[in-house]
Amino acid sequence: MAVERINRKEIHPMENLLRMERMPHIWCPTCGIGIAVTAFTAALEKAKLDPNMVSIVSGIGCTGRVAGYVKLDSFHTTHGRPIAFATGIKVANPKMKVVVFSGDGDLMAIGGNHFIHAARRNIDMLVVCVNNFIYAMTGGQVAPTTPLAAYATTSPYGCVEPPFNIPYIADSSGAVYVARYTALHVRRLTNALTEALQKKGFSVVEVISPCGMYYSRINRLGDGLEMMKFYHDNVEIRNGEDTKNLDIGFQTKIICGKFVDRERPTYMERYNQWLSEVKPTGKNPDVSRGAQSEG
């Protein structure tokens, strides 16, 4: 049967924010990262930020590849350290809006320390954590978010570690905006990202995503579509819920929503305030005093 060629150029609506010359991307069919990226680019437009003033930093992993496909000043850095890298950018050039886009393993395992410190300091940055409950890029090892009893290649007898509750850690460390949605909830996710992009302070948006290649395959949970169906049937939107109650078990209910939205002075606000209180005299410091030994 002859197929008529449709003679119009098919343009992705977010083309100006994507590195089209690198398409197709490397993510597997049934992966939710692409959805997160689309939501993010849509949010960038909705938030009316100047793309020239937004920098995106990723770590290592499947989600870590996001920086390579988004058309902003983008950095693909070392495993676990995009937040530290982004802190350097922000503190050195506070005019930049920095976004860290990385996975659960990168941000919460090896990067855990940097996550809590940046939250504590309230560095003005958005952290998008795509949580697929597994280390996918390296072949399906257990992650700090892998639910108890789930299988992974390094928990072949079932995971014995209780997982992190990411919104709870973010909240208790001092984040000013914390939300969680799944890859199914595209519109809510886009709105959350829009709000977070406009928010001053350390903001975290967790995106629960299917991983058809590893997590759901190893655990016999079906393919991407079945995972989406699962989200549809088992997600409860509870805005304002206490982050303590947001644990995720193996194939249990997942609570999504916006949980934290508060105000705290940011790191640079405090830093600048301190600077303005230190009265530079214009005179050179008393150099004859020299350094004092720390003992």
d(CA 109, CA 232): 28
Residue from 109, 128, 192, 196 touching another protein (CB under 8 A): that is 109
Contacts (Cβ under 8 Å, ≥6 apart) of 201: 122, 124, 175, 176, 177, 263, 264, 266
Contacts (Cβ under 8 Å, ≥6 apart) of 16: 51, 71
Least separation in angstroms between residue 56's CB and another protein is: 9
Among the residue ranges 32-40, 78-86, 184-192, 210-218, the one whose residues contact another protein (CB under 8 A) = 78-86
81 contributes a contact to another protein by CB under 8 A: yes
191 contributes a contact to another protein by CB under 8 A: no
d(CA 50, CA 120): 27
Which residues on neighbouring strands pair with residue 236, listed in sequence order? 255
288 contributes a contact to another protein by CB under 8 A: yes
Closer residue to another protein, CB minimum distance, 66 or 179:
66
Angle at 99 between CA 14 and CA 146, to 5 degrees: 100
Distance of CA 90 to the CA centre of its chain: 16
Within 122-151, which residues bind another protein (CB under 8 A)?
135, 137-139, 141-142, 144
254 contributes a contact to another protein by CB under 8 A: no
* Residues making contact with another protein (CB under 8 A): 19, 22, 51-53, 55, 57, 60, 67-68, 71-81, 83-89, 91-93, 95-96, 109-110, 112-114, 117, 135, 137-139, 141-142, 144, 153-157, 271, 275, 278, 280, 282, 284-285, 287-288, 290-291, 293-294
